[in-house]
């Protein structure tokens, strides 16, 4: 069950959006609690609001070609999430849409993801190791590039989120805490892992 070309091209957008929106709704309180510890306590609400807005447009989105749909999802996120995560996750999906060909293969997907994550880093003026969502996104991309199976990718994402705990935040709101940010999981890393697992779950059956 590696994530092959079929997994990418035959994506059922409706299932995928539903899965991500469901997981954001189910974990909103958990994400907010993480953000209360080292941020301002809105991350769960932000993510839930964004993906509910995306969910509300599932029908229209599902009719678009994949790249267009991803761009539209990204734009929707930018226009509804707010905070730091809005522009960042928005950029991720928008860039992914921009980079993916209409009928992408696995290599296309892996390359597009790399570029999209770089776009996130550029928008956030950030890099790996700063206790942000990037610390999940980069390992996910590496795993995809390395041909890991979708469950493996999901597990790697979880481990990567877990691995943000000992980090000291350099970017994001938590950075003002300095050493006091150590010991807490980064909320954006956790939401990235949740999104990864949700997407992986929808791809898996089709591989």
Ligand X SMILES: Nc1ncnc2c1ncn2[C@@H]1O[C@H](COP(=O)(O)OP(=O)(O)O)[C@@H](O)[C@H]1O
Taking a C-beta distance cutoff of 8 angstroms, is the pair 119, 96 a contact?
no
- Residue 110 binds to ligand X (criterion: CB under 6 A): no
Candidate ranges 1-9, 57-65, 78-86, 87-95; the one touching Mg ion (CB under 5 A):
78-86
Binding mask 118-157 for other proteins (x = CB under 8 A): -----xx---------------------------------
Candidate ranges 17-25, 29-37, 52-60, 174-182; the one touching Mg ion (CB under 5 A):
29-37
Give CA–CA dist 16/183, Å, rounded: 32
- Residue 124 binds to Mg ion (criterion: CB under 5 A): no
Report in angstroms how near the CB of residue 20 gets to Mg ion at its nearest: 19
Nearest-10 Cα torsion for 17, 21, 23, 26: -160
Own/partner long-range contacts of 90-93 (Cβ < 8 Å, ≥24 apart): 91/116, 91/119, 91/120, 91/123, 92/116, 92/117, 92/119, 92/120, 92/137
Give CA–CA dist 79/147, Å, rounded: 34
Give the footprint of Mg ion on this chain (CB under 5 A). Answer: 35, 39-40, 42-43, 83
Give the footprint of ligand X on this chain (CB under 6 A). Answer: 35, 39-40, 42-43, 46, 83-85, 88, 124-126, 132-134, 171-173, 186-189
């Amino acid at each position: 069950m590696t994530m092959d070309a079929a997994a990418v091209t035959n994506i059922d957008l409706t299932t995928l959006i539903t899965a991500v929106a469901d997981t954001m709704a189910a974990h909103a309180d958990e994400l907010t609690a993480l953000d209360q510890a080292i941020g301002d306590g809105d991350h769960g609400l932000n993510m839930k609001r964004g993906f509910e807005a995306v969910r509300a447009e599932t029908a229209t989105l599902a009719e678009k070609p994949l790249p267009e749909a991803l761009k539209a999802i990204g734009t929707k996120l930018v226009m509804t999430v707010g905070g730091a995560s809005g522009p960042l996750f928005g950029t991720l999906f928008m860039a992914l849409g921009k980079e993916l060909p209409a009928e992408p293969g696995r290599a296309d997907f892996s390359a597009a993801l790399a570029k999209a994550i770089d776009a996130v880093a550029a928008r956030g003026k950030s890099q790996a190791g700063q206790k942000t969502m990037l610390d999940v996104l980069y390992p996910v991309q590496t795993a995809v590039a390395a041909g890991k199976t979708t469950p493996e990718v999901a597990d790697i994402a979880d481990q990567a989120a877990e691995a943000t705990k000992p980090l000291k935040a350099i970017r994001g709101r938590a950075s003002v805490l300095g050493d006091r940010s150590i010991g807490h999981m980064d909320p954006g890393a956790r939401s990235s892992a949740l999104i990864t697992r949700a997407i992986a779950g929808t791809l898996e059956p089709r591989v």
